[in-house]
């Protein structure tokens, strides 16, 4: 049995595939681990609606009852949201164990990319990719997202790497893995909540048509996907020094409490929300919607190429 044999498409995505309409893949850890209920469900539905409004079909990906679901209905999103934190946070390595026990899981960037590639979906929108964690020289904690970007030919739209990570080491790792990065209307790699990280990018793109050509050529040439860096909208961006201070506090707390590995990212994101009085959550929601709209627009251009 292959992963394709475990894959079910929602009616909306099955129709879009049959008619060769634009499709945007979306991850589900935002529902299961990224935000508290009911904000997680509200955000997931808002993002799907934004994709539809921009002319594409939203394919939220998750594991439900041991089946890989490409496209969820409103009730399934609600059910996953109510289980917030109570299901597996599945990277690519976790798909077989979860499926074997007929379990449920939210899919990370790595798992979503992998499934999108199997489903023939060219573009995927997320908030921020995983990366090299702070202190990785001691823990060796490096997200599988970075390796997946080097081997799966799916374009990923993101607002950079999550600010809780070591962005400089993340970029070095991506370079070593041969991952192509392009800034969409920006010259620096964004830092999730902040529009700039201080790290210059080699490549920039200012138009959807050119972006679609880059995505298609990267898919043809490989070996991995194209990482598209799309900064958080200006009216929701946080000041870099302020957010860095709050993140440092959260990281120190995580270390003191022994929080590590898969639990680290949800813990740190939640603490940063608390330490910023909710401002980081609003920025998170705004950047996810912004990325989904860009991905849908690019998917439309891809369909016209």
Among the options 12, 27, 48, 76, which is catalytic? Answer: 27
Q: List per-block mean pLDDT (blocks of 10 residues) for the chain, which spans 305 residues.
A: 87 98 97 91 98 98 97 96 86 96 96 97 97 88 96 97 92 97 98 94 98 97 96 95 90 87 78 92 96 98 95
> Could you say which DSSP state residue 277 is in?
T
Tokens standing for residue 195: 């529009």
| 164, 165, 299 from 286: Cα distances, Å | 18, 20, 20
CA distance 232 to 279: 13
Q: Do domains 1-121 and 129-305 have the same CATH topology?
A: yes
Tokens standing for residue 1: 């049995």
pLDDT of res. 137: 86
pLDDT of res. 134: 86
| 160, 168, 243, 286 from 197: Cα distances, Å | 9, 9, 11, 18
CATH superfamily for 1-121 is Indigoidine synthase domain (3.40.1790.10)
For the question of residue 148 being annotated catalytic, the response is no
For the question of residue 239 being annotated catalytic, the response is no
The residues near 22 (Cβ < 8 Å, ≥ 6 apart) are: 16, 55, 56, 57, 296, 299, 300, 302, 303
Among the options 48, 76, 89, 162, which is catalytic? Answer: 162
Closest-CA residue to 89 (of 144, 127, 133, 139): 144
pLDDT of res. 164: 85
pLDDT of res. 221: 94
Radius of gyration for the chain, computed over Cα atoms and rounded to the nearest angstrom:
18
pTM: 0.94
pLDDT of res. 262: 66
Tell me the fold of 129-305: Indigoidine synthase fold (3.40.1790)
pLDDT of res. 264: 78
Residue ranges of the domains in the chain?
Answer: 1-121, 129-305
> Could you say which DSSP state residue 251 is in?
H
């Amino acid at each position: 049995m292959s992963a394709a044999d475990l894959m079910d498409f929602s009616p909306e995505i099955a129709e879009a595939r049959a008619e060769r309409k634009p499709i945007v893949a979306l991850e589900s850890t935002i529902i299961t681990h990224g935000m508290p209920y009911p904000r997680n469900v509200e955000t997931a539905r808002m993002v799907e609606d934004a994709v539809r409004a921009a002319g594409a079909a939203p394919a939220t990906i998750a594991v439900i009852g041991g089946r890989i679901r490409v496209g969820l209905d409103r009730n399934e999103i609600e059910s996953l949201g109510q289980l917030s934190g109570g299901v597996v946070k599945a990277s690519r390595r976790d798909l077989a164990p979860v499926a074997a026990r007929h379990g449920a899981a939210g899919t990370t960037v790595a798992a979503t990319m992998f499934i999108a590639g199997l489903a023939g979906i060219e573009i995927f929108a997320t908030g921020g990719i995983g990366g090299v964690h702070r202190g990785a020289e001691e823990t060796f904690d490096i997200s599988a997202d970075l390796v997946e970007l080097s081997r799966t030919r799916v374009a990923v739209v993101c607002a950079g790497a999550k600010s809780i990570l070591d962005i400089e080491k993340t970029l070095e790792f991506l370079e070593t893995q041969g991952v192509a990065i392009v800034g969409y209307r920006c010259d620096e790699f964004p830092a999730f909540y902040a529009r700039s990280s201080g790290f210059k990018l080699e490549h920039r793109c200012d138009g959807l048509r050119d972006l679609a050509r880059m995505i298609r050529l990267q898919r043809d040439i490989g070996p991995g996907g194209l990482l598209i860096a799309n900064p958080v909208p200006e009216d929701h961006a946080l000041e870099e020094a302020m957010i860095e201070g709050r993140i440092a506090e959260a990281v120190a707390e995580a270390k003191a409490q022994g929080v590590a590995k898969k639990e680290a990212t949800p813990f740190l994101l939640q603490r940063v929300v608390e330490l910023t009085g909710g401002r980081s959550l609003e920025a998170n929601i705004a950047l996810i919607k912004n990325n989904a709209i860009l991905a849908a627009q690019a998917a439309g251009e891809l369909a016209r190429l």
